[in-house]
């Protein structure tokens, strides 16, 4: 589904110029939950931003379902982000004044779908993550695990082919983190979808299909799972 080929990204100028990602290459298949692990500052989040169409690389290519996304014009790239990618941020990025239901409906509003239709789809997405009974509550009235599930519902509401999670368990205790990742593997992953998770949480390594390690901006190979 995804082919990342020789991706590089630099920041800064002159003596302050640094390489965040250097010649990164790997592939992800449908039905796969791939982890990218490594220490803080190794370039993982930069790489995610490039794969999801947010940050343009300085060189290399990202092909998703046969389309080189960085050869798309700005409108087509925006459409790719809206329709093909679901992004779950580390800090959830939920709007505090909106209900869980309204938060989940936002991607459909951005796609210019009717508000009523968006709320119907949001209800189904929250039902899929087991939170339909909590849909009227604001984020501050939800637990950390519930907020994470709202973020997942928002990511899947538009039925994307690719889901990307940036440190999904960083703000959760060990048991809750394992429950979230188990839920994602058992209920969200499918033969028509791929999932990429960036994490340094060794407690959830056992749930990965494959684990790739990244250090100093470079992919350094596969890492064994920790049982």
The span from the CA of 178 to the CA of 199, in Å, is 13
Average confidence score pLDDT of the chain: 91
pLDDT exceeds 70 at position 99: yes
pTM as predicted: 0.88
> Among 91-100, 163-172, 177-186, which range has the highest average pLDDT?
91-100
Q: What is the mean pLDDT of residues 133-145?
A: 94
pLDDT exceeds 80 at position 109: yes
Phi and psi torsions of 173, nearest 5°: -70, 170
pLDDT exceeds 90 at position 21: yes
| Cβ atoms 1, 84 nearer than 8 A | no
Nearest-5° angle of CA 222, CA 225, CA 227? 170
Q: What tokens appear for 153 in the block?
A: 């519902």
- Over residues 63-78, the pLDDT tens digits come to 999 999 999 999 999 9
pLDDT exceeds 70 at position 163: yes
**Residue 170's pLDDT band (boundaries 50, 70, 90)?**
confident
CA-closest candidate to residue 27, choices 200, 226, 219: 219
- Over residues 51-65, the pLDDT tens digits come to 999 999 999 999 999
pLDDT exceeds 70 at position 196: yes
pLDDT exceeds 70 at position 219: yes
pLDDT exceeds 90 at position 167: no
CA-closest candidate to residue 32, choices 153, 169, 214, 184: 184
pLDDT (0 to 100) of residue 227: 60
**Residue 179's pLDDT band (boundaries 50, 70, 90)?**
confident
57-92 burial: b if 16+ Cβ within 10 Å, else e: beebebbbeeeebbeeeeeebeebbbebbbbbebeb
**Bridge-partner residues for 165, per DSSP?**
88, 197
């Amino acid at each position: 589904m995804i082919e990342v080929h020789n991706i590089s990204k630099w920041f800064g100028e002159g003596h302050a110029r640094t390489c965040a990602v250097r010649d990164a290459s790997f592939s992800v298949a449908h039905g796969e939950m791939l982890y990218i692990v490594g220490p803080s500052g190794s370039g993982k989040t930069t790489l995610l931003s490039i794969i999801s169409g947010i940050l343009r690389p300085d060189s290399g290519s990202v092909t998703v379902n046969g389309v080189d996304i960085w050869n798309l014009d700005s409108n087509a790239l925006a459409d790719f982000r809206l329709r093909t990618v679901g992004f779950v941020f580390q800090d959830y990025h939920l709007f505090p004044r909106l209900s869980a239901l309204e938060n989940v409906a936002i991607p459909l509003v951005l796609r210019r779908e009717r508000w009523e239709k968006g709320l119907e789809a949001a209800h189904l997405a929250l039902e899929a993550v087991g939170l339909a009974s909590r849909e009227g509550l604001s984020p501050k009235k939800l637990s950390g695990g519930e907020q994470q599930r709202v973020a997942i519902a928002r990511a899947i509401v538009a039925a994307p082919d690719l889901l990307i999670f940036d440190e999904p368990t960083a703000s959760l205790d060990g048991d809750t983190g394992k429950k979230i990742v188990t839920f994602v593997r058992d209920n969200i992953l499918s033969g028509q979808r791929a999932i990429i998770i960036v994490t340094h949480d060794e407690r959830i390594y056992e749930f990965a299909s494959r684990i790739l390690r990244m250090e100093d901006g470079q992919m350094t190979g596969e890492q064994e799972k920790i049982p």
